[in-house]
Amino acid sequence: MLWTRTTRRPVRHNARLALESLDERALPSNSFTGLSAAGQFAVLGINGGSVTIRNSDIVGSVGLAPNATSVLRSSHVNGELDVDPNAQAGTHKGFQVSGGLVTQSLKAARDDANATSANFAALTPNLSAGTLNFSTTVNSTGAVTVVSVTNLNYSNKTLTLNGGANDLFVFNVSGNFKFANSKVVLAGGVTANHVLFNFTTSKNTDIEVSNRHSVFNGTILAPHRSVNYQNAATFHGAIVSQDVSLTTNASVDNGLAAPPPTAPPPSSLSGYVFTDSDNDGTYSDGDIGLSGVLMTLTGVNDLGQNVSATATTDSTGFYQFTGLRPGVYALAETQPTGYGDVDQVAGSEGGSTQNNLIYDINLVAGVNSQFNNFIERQAFGG
């Protein structure tokens, strides 16, 4: 079963929905894995429809395919406004486009959207439902999970999609779609650009997304429908539709404009525990390293995460902590039996010291803090 809540019993007066779990079937060899040319946009109007954007923010490009019209005012687009030569861009005061206005053919994007919708609509579903109006979890089948839905009416509900980063969820919706004060939650590593709500029919009622507390992850693909999205909901994905209306602080982020940050190069902390035979404060020839001494690392990294780790010294008295993020760290020595503390010496990146402790070590990315040393003397009679 893919749904966490599934029943084969008839619907009773107190039951919300009966769902039918279908056998998994092989996908046709010509099935698509997602939008290509149309997938480069946060908002794309196709098939001669109208795009209205008022008092809203878009991260990604906006496209007007052949014969599309638009009303664009008092909004910001962090991307391009791409307009087909046969489309009409009616921009007005207050409409800002960081990437500028680009005139180019968007016929390929339009054709891609239509073909992708048709191909997905032809797939045999893994699950089917009538009216989906309760919170539920859909678990991935492992590659493409296709869910056939007549109507999705969500108010104060949560749809959780559980799958891996390479899994694709497709909801083929033939009827109404209302999404208010609700959430599409992603679990297990699946990403928003692997979630598609595909509207397979022409219908007079709008596809509605509203309420500032809503969280929507996925692309709406509706070649012959109208999308009405208003209020400052969280929307990670794209809208590709015949008619699009974004108003009243609507916000769309297709995730293409800001790639995820790369991790900083790792850093390390190291040093020696030894007896200082020549009393010069450094580990040198003639000094005796102490093995098996327990060292404890603590600190807070640049992500605000608490760090705690332990290591023991080797036969030369050497210890090391690797793979560290930037942060502020401390090194504590567990006093070895039979020895007395002499001194602590902060290493190459500095720090403060007290008995058996070097602290306030400010570690930056890609740096190896060396020679954080702990000096001991053998106890009398030891």
Residues with Cβ within 8 Å of 337's Cβ and at least 6 positions away in sequence, in order, are none
Q: Do 222 and 240 form a contact (C-beta atoms < 8 A)?
A: yes
pLDDT band at 259 (very low <50, low <70, confident <90, very high): very low
* Whole-number Å distance between alpha carbons of 134 and 14: 13
What is residue 24's predicted lDDT score, i.e. its pLDDT? 27
Structure tokens at 97: 């486009």
Average pLDDT of span 233-259: 82
Using the predicted structure, report yes or no on whether residue 226 has a pLDDT greater than 60: yes
Q: Are 127 and 19 in contact (CB under 8 A)?
A: yes
**Picking from 6-15, 36-45, 50-59, 109-118, which range would have the lowest pLDDT averaged per residue?**
6-15
Least confident of 10-14, 100-104, 256-260, 361-365: 10-14
pLDDT for the residue numbered 12: 28
Position 17 scores a pLDDT of 27
The whole-number pLDDT of residue 4 equals 41
CA distance 144 to 138: 12
Task: Give the pLDDT confidence score for residue 189 in this predicted structure.
Answer: 87
Quote the pLDDT of residue 351: 96
Q: What is the pTM of this model?
A: 0.62
pLDDT of residue 271 exceeding 90: yes
**205: number of Cβ within 10 Å:** 13
> For residue 279, what pLDDT is reported?
83
375: Cα within 13 Å, side-chain hemisphere:
19
**Mean pLDDT of all residues in 89-118:** 88
Residue appearing with tokens 């509605």: 208
| % of residues, the chain, pLDDT over 90 | 62
CA distance 163 to 125: 17
Q: 326 near 305, Cβ under 8 Å?
A: no
Read off the pLDDT band of 34 (50, 70, 90): low
Handedness of CA 182, 187, 191, 193 (dihedral sign): negative
- Residue 7: is its pLDDT beyond 70? no
What are the phi and psi torsion angles at 115 (to 5°)? -70, -40
Find the mean pLDDT for residues 101-112: 92
Q: How confident is the model at residue 89 (pLDDT cuts 50, 70, 90)?
A: confident
Topology classification of domain 267-378: Immunoglobulin-like (2.60.40)
- Reply yes or no on whether the pLDDT at 330 is more than 60: yes
Instruction: Say yes or no to pLDDT of 21 above 80.
Output: no
Round the average pLDDT of the chain to a whole number and report it: 85
Q: What angle do CA 255, 261, 267 make, to 5 degrees?
A: 165
Three state DSSP letters for the chain: CCECCCCCCCCCCCCCCCCEECCCCCCCCCCCCCCCCHHHEEEEECCCCEEEEECCEEECEEEECCCCEEEEECEEEECCEEECCCCCCCECCCEEECCCEEECCCHHHHHHHHHHHHHHHCCCCCEEEEEECCCEEEECCCCEEEEEEEEEEEECCEEEEECCCCCEEEEEECCCEEEECCEEEEECCCCHHHEEEEECCCCCCCEEEECCCCEEEEEEEEEEEEEEEECCCEEEEEEEEEEEEEECCCEEECCCCCCCCCCCCCEEEEEEEEECCCCCCCCCCCCEECCCCEEEEEEEECCCCEEEEEEECCCCCEEEEEEECCEEEEEEECCCCCEEEEEEECCCCCCEEECCEEEEEEECCCCEECCCEEEEEECCCC
Rounded to the nearest 5°, which phi and psi values hold at 364? -100, 175
pLDDT over 80 at 92, yes or no:
no
What is the model's pLDDT at position 27? 32
The predicted model gives 200-222 an average pLDDT of 90
pLDDT of residue 261: 52
pLDDT of 353 higher than 60: yes
How many C-beta neighbours within 10 Å does residue 292 have?
12
Length of the chain: 382
Residue 258 has pLDDT above 80, yes or no: no
User: What is the structure's pLDDT at 255?
Assistant: 61
| Residue 84's pLDDT band (cuts 50, 70, 90) | very high
What pLDDT, in 10s, does the model give residues 136-185?
999 998 788 999 999 999 999 999 999 988 889 999 999 999 999 999 99
**Tell me, what's the pLDDT at 207?**
93
Regarding beta strands 81-83 and 101-103, do their DSSP bridges make them parallel or antiparallel, or are they unpaired?
parallel
- The residue-averaged pLDDT of 311-324 equals 96
Predicted confidence (pLDDT) at residue 23 exceeds the cutoff of 60: no
- Residue 319 bridge partners (DSSP): 271
Domain ranges of the chain: 20-253, 267-378
Long-range Cβ contacts of 319-322 (<8 Å, 24+ apart): 319/270, 319/271, 319/272, 319/273, 319/293, 319/295, 320/268, 320/269, 320/270, 321/268, 321/269, 321/270, 321/295, 321/297, 322/266, 322/268
